[in-house]
Amino acid sequence: MTKIKILVAGHGGQGVLLLSDYIAYTAMLDGKHVAYTPSYGPETRGGKAKCYVVISDEEVDNPIVEDPDVEIIMNQPSMDFLNYLRPKGLFMYNKSLVDSAPDRDDVKSFGIPATEIADQLKFDVPKGTVADTKMFANAVMFGSFIELCAPKIGEELLKESLKHFLAGKKEELTTLNYLGLTRGREFVRANPPEESAPQAPFHCIPAWAAQ
């Protein structure tokens, strides 16, 4: 069985669980088996939040991730999770809110200025449309993850995933979320990692991000 184990972490209010939702649901749309396990503190906003996502070609036997293949870290306090990443794993972090570079030389590190990129979205929408576009940093990280780990995923699947979670009153945010996703992908394309050999299960997993 081939699978990829992912840990997403940050603080409440950053959209950590929604980012995990995007990843898990997109993998489901791509025909994969998925386990999604959220965990967060008593404070909804400002408290610690993390989520485990397991994507596999076969049924998932254990939803808890002890040695992630990929970590997506949204803030400085969550850098503690770096210790759990397996050797040769992929460490993605929000460079806008992480002060220090990862101190492990046995993993692949990729910093994305997600909050800064999201902040720049304010120039793409009419003034007053959204109070603070930095809220779309999770969409930027989602796009970066897709470009690094599943670049062959079709645009329709990505749009369908966003639409699924942004229904009702949130529907008006779909366009900006998709724009944030696109900017995340564009950042990775402009700053490609050294190695990106295709490998199953999530369509085009880099060899160093799956086992």
Beta carbons of 147 and 185 less than 8 angstroms apart: yes
- DSSP lists the bridge partners of residue 51 as 8, 38
Token representation of residue 41? 């503190």
Question: In the prediction, which pLDDT does 125 show?
Answer: 79
> Is there a domain that residue 211 lies in?
no
Low-confidence residues in the chain, pLDDT < 50:
1, 43, 196-201, 203-204, 207-208, 210-211
CATH number for the domain that contains residue 23 = 3.40.920.10
Report the domain count for the chain: 1
Question: In the prediction, which pLDDT does 145 show?
Answer: 95
φ/ψ bin of 175: left (φ > 0), alpha (ψ from -120 to 50), beta (otherwise): alpha
Question: In the prediction, which pLDDT does 168 show?
Answer: 85
Give the closest residue to 143 by CA, choosing from 155, 129, 131: 155
- The predicted-structure confidence for 132-191, as pLDDT tens digits, reads as follows 999 999 999 999 999 998 888 989 999 999 999 998 888 888 999 999 999 999 999 999
Q: Which residue has the tokens 């397991």?
A: 54
> Is there a domain that residue 24 lies in?
yes
> Is there a domain that residue 209 lies in?
no
> Is there a domain that residue 79 lies in?
yes
Domain span at 171: 3-203
> Is there a domain that residue 208 lies in?
no
> Is there a domain that residue 115 lies in?
yes
